[in-house]
Amino acid sequence: MSAYSTALRALSERLDSELALLRQREHAEALSVVEAATERCRILQRHLDACQELRRQHLQRLADSYDGHQGPLSGVEQNGRTPAALAKSPDALWPGTPT
């Protein structure tokens, strides 16, 4: 399994754990419905931010590995962008995807 996949799996496990703990607190009535919803949004946003940063780092490593590469994939473009350019703006791979 790649380092990226391992890190992504760890992020997903942390999300599951944090949401389970939140549900326990909500069921124990330690939090109101509004407080739980607010906390859930915060947890999910932090997870999405971490996933986006992980993706950016992964694409940067891929781009770095292609710098100076003269093999068959040298200069290959995706949607008109080189790997180095995609690492700086990974959302260019999926046009129209909200960030």
Q: Tell me: the pLDDT tens digits for 4-43?
A: 999 999 999 999 999 999 999 999 999 999 999 999 999 9
Domain-located, residue 98: no
Predicted pLDDT at 64: 81
Predicted pLDDT at 95: 52
Residue 41: phi, psi to the nearest 5? -60, -40
Provide the domain limits for residue 39.
3-93
The pLDDT-based confidence of 1 (bands split at 50, 70, 90) is confident
Domain-located, residue 99: no
Instruction: Quote the tokens at residue 45.
Output: 């946003």
Please tell me whether the overall predicted TM-score, pTM, comes out greater than 0.85 for this model: no
**pLDDT tens by residue, 52-83:** 999 999 999 888 877 665 555 555 555 555 65
Domain-located, residue 14: yes
Domain-located, residue 13: yes
| Residue given tokens 């599951």 in the structure block | 16
What is the total count of domains within the chain?
1
Instruction: Quote the tokens at residue 2.
Output: 């790649």
